[in-house]
Structure formats: structure tokens, C-alpha cells
């Protein structure tokens, strides 16, 4: 069967090649589509990723949508499903409690990223515990389930942190209008909040379709827009991450979902960190990966958003190409790109 593989650490080593079909116990899945994100791009550039033990190459792809190939383990042939990404390190409290998203050692593995083959291949075998059912009504839009699960975890943690004291969040800011930014805005809108999305682009029809206000940071100073009860940073800019703390209202919470791995130094005003943050009970925190329950609530949220904000999710999946056109998907920056291996009804 065909798979998209890379040699981790080697730039431009991505290629479609024949690999062995999986065998053994588990739920056999036919992969329909995989989403591509910045992590895949970094892996293909040789900056990230680790091959499975004893292997030279890694099958990439961690944003999956698949169809069950045969009955068993509580699933029926034809069911649409997604598979979660991270697996237990096997020796920490959090992983022991089924929360590898909170792994305390960093020794976890991740499909398509770290020491586990990914989903950009025709067939995969998965343990039933790591499979999330997808409603028929959501269909191929469920390829957004993985990035949505990241946002669901971030928002869940923000609301949990905020709720440590009496607090009702009403206004939210999301910086960055990529998939993670827009899906975060979607979740905050579903929570009933007034949401502002800020990014470099001139406009965002998707943000507007989600009922959010959109502002371009080229023409608008974020400092004039606050204060906000929740800020989600999804642009991956360290300075914006620190700036988030200064945009918060009393008891506000700023959640960092983007990654900025560049060398540099971000700055913050003494008054914001030394006084306002203390006197106004503000919090800045980071969030990565997702718990199984974030997948389940994320899938529910996507299906609600599909009805509540017609056309927005369809527009977010901006490029769908077959597996062998992966280079186009990696080079694309106008929304979520996906690699299509099979159609849901094929």
C-alpha cells in the first residue's frame, strides 16, 4: 500500500512509497483524508520528527479521517472515525490516568510525529481506545477534528482556570487566523462569547461567517481593542503571547496555542507583569495536544458549527489534493490543506 514517508532530520525527503500493510489485532481503518499543518511542514523540512525505533523512515500525517474496514471492537464496517495522536509514556501519573496530553516526562509517542507511524497511508490498525466516532452528518469536515481537539483543550483549560474564582467570560480575542485560530474562535462563539479575531490578512470571510469581528493587525493596534476575558494566541508569535497578558480584563485568562521557536527576546512592560497581572488576578498559560474527551467534545462542536455557521468549515478546508500532490499541500498557506486518499462513499 502507498504511504507518505520522510526521513526525519533530512529536508525534502518526503516521498510516496510502498509500505507493508498492517497486520495484527485492532480496528482496521481505511484512511480517507489527512490534514496538513505546520508540524508536517517542519517535519518535511527536516526540523522535527523521529522515526519509529529501528526504522529509517516515518509515515507522516496526524490529522486523520478514516473509515472502519471490518466489524469488531464495537465498531461496524463503514463507520467514520478519527484516531487520536499521542500515546502514553508508560511511566507517569498523567499517562497512567489516561491523560498523555498532560504527560509529565515528555517520553510520549505521537503518530506521524514522534516514534509512531502516522496516518498518511492507505490502511492503519488502531486500538479501539484511541478511536473517536464521527457522526455521518459531519462527514469529511471531520478531518478538522485533530486541530479542533487542540483548541477544545485550550478553551476547556481557560474556562477551568477562570472558574477558580467567580467569573463570567463575555469577550474573547483570538490572534492568528489559521486553522487553530479560526477553530478557537468557533468554539468561543459556540460558548456564546463576543469574539474578535486579529491577524495580518486584510479580511477573513471565515471569521465573519463564524459571527466574529475581524481586525487586521496591519491597520489596527490591538491595545485599543481590549480588555478581554479570554485571549487565545494562535499566531505563534512570542511577542503577541506576552502582549496577551496586557490585553486581559480583571480575572482574564490568556491561552497560548501557537509555537514560536525562533531565537529572540520578547518584552513586556513592568507595569503589566509587575502590577496589573497581580492586582487583577490574570493568568497566562500554554496548552498542547488533547485529551480523548477533547476529541469527543471537539467533534460535537464541529457538528454544531456546521449547522450554526453554514459554509464556514467548508471554506476553511481550502485545498484538497491526492496523496502524490503532497508538495502542493505543504506549500499552501491559504487555509487548511488536506491529502485525499479515498472519498467517504467510495
Residue 43, number of CB atoms within 10 A of its CB:
26
d(CA 68, CA 80) in angstroms, rounded, equals: 7
Q: Residue ranges of the alpha helices (H) in 142-178? A: 145-162
Contacts of 210 (CB under 8 A, 6+ apart): 182, 185, 186, 189, 195, 305, 309, 312
Of 278, 279, 190, 193, nearest in space to 230 by CA: 193
The verdict on 273 binding Zn ion (CB under 5 A) reads no
Cβ closest to Zn ion, residue 149 vs residue 277: 149
The verdict on 319 binding Zn ion (CB under 5 A) reads no
SS3 289: coil
Residue 54 CA, chain-centre distance (Å), reads 29
The verdict on 37 binding Zn ion (CB under 5 A) reads yes
The stretch among 3-11, 83-91, 156-164, 165-173 that binds Zn ion (CB under 5 A) is: 83-91
Q: How far is the CB of 117 from Zn ion (least distance, A)?
A: 16
Q: How far is the CB of 146 from Zn ion (least distance, A)?
A: 6
Q: How far is the CB of 113 from Zn ion (least distance, A)?
A: 9
d(CA 76, CA 69) in angstroms, rounded, equals: 8
d(CA 53, CA 178) in angstroms, rounded, equals: 33
**Residue corresponding to grid cell 467569573:** 167
The stretch among 33-41, 179-187, 254-262, 288-296 that binds Zn ion (CB under 5 A) is: 33-41
C-alpha cell at 269: 512592560
Residues 38-57 contacting Zn ion, CB under 5 A? 39
End-to-end CA distance of the chain: 17
Considering only 59, 65, 83, 103, the residue that binds Zn ion (CB under 5 A) is 103
The single-letter DSSP state of residue 141 is G
Cβ closest to Zn ion, residue 92 vs residue 313: 92
The stretch among 23-31, 88-96, 230-238, 265-273 that binds Zn ion (CB under 5 A) is: 88-96
Considering only 3, 95, 124, 254, the residue that binds Zn ion (CB under 5 A) is 95
d(CA 284, CA 252) in angstroms, rounded, equals: 9
C-beta separation of 150 from 37 below 8 A: no
Cβ closest to Zn ion, residue 199 vs residue 338: 338
Cβ closest to Zn ion, residue 237 vs residue 290: 290
Cβ closest to Zn ion, residue 57 vs residue 86: 86
Considering only 4, 92, 145, 305, the residue that binds Zn ion (CB under 5 A) is 92
Q: What angle do CA 183, 187, 188 make, to 5 degrees?
A: 115
Cβ closest to Zn ion, residue 48 vs residue 309: 48
The verdict on 82 binding Zn ion (CB under 5 A) reads no
The stretch among 16-24, 51-59, 101-109, 313-321 that binds Zn ion (CB under 5 A) is: 101-109
Q: How far is the CB of 40 from Zn ion (least distance, A)?
A: 7
Q: How far is the CB of 99 from Zn ion (least distance, A)?
A: 8
Q: Give residues in contact with Zn ion (CB under 5 A).
A: 37, 39, 89, 92, 95, 103, 105
Amino acid at each position: 500500500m502507498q504511504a507518505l514517508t520522510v526521513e526525519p532530520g533530512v529536508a525534502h525527503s518526503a516521498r510516496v512509497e510502498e509500505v507493508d500493510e498492517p497486520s495484527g489485532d485492532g480496528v482496521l481503518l481505511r484512511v480517507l483524508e489527512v490534514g496538513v499543518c505546520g508540524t508536517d511542514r517542519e517535519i518535511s523540512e527536516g526540523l522535527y520528527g523521529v522515526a519509529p525505533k529501528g526504522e529509517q523512515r516515518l509515515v507522516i500525517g496526524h490529522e486523520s479521517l478514516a473509515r472502519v474496514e471490518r466489524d469488531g471492537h464495537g465498531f461496524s464496517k463503514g463507520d467514520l472515525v478519527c484516531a487520536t495522536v499521542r500515546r502514553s509514556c508508560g511511566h507517569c501519573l498523567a499517562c497512567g490516568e489516561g491523560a498523555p496530553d498532560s504527560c509529565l516526562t515528555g517520553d510520549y509517542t505521537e503518530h506521524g510525529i514522534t516514534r509512531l507511524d502516522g496516518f498518511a497511508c492507505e490502511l492503519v490498525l488502531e486500538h479501539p481506545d484511541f478511536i473517536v466516532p464521527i457522526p455521518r452528518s459531519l462527514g469529511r469536515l471531520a478531518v478538522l477534528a485533530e486541530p479542533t481537539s487542540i483548541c477544545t483543550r485550550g478553551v476547556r483549560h481557560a474556562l477551568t482556570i477562570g472558574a477558580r474564582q467567580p467569573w463570567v467570560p463575555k469577550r474573547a480575542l483570538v490572534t492568528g487566523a489559521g486553522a487553530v485560530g479560526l477553530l478557537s474562535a468557533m468554539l468561543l462563539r459556540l460558548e456564546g462569547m463576543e469574539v474578535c479575531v486579529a491577524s495580518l490578512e486584510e479580511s477573513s470571510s471565515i471569521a465573519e461567517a463564524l459571527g466574529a469581528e475581524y481586525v487586521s493587525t496591519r491597520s489596527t493596534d490591538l491595545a485599543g481593542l481590549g480588555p478581554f476575558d479570554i485571549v487565545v494566541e494562535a499566531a505563534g508569535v512570542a511577542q503577541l503571547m506576552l502582549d496577551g497578558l496586557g490585553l486581559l480584563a480583571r480575572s482574564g485568562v490568556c491561552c497560548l496555542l501557537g509555537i514560536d521557536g525562533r531565537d529572540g527576546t520578547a518584552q513586556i512592560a513592568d507595569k503589566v507583569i509587575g502590577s496589573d497581572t497581580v492586582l487583577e488576578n490574570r493568568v497566562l498559560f500554554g496548552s498542547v495536544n488533547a485529551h480523548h474527551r477533547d476529541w469527543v467534545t471537539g467533534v460535537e462542536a464541529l457538528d454544531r458549527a456546521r449547522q450554526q455557521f453554514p459554509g464556514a468549515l467548508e471554506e476553511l478546508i481550502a485545498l484538497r489534493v491526492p496523496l502524490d500532490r503532497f508538495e502542493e499541500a505543504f506549500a499552501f498557506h491559504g487555509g487548511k490543506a488536506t491529502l485525499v486518499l479515498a472519498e467517504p462513499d467510495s
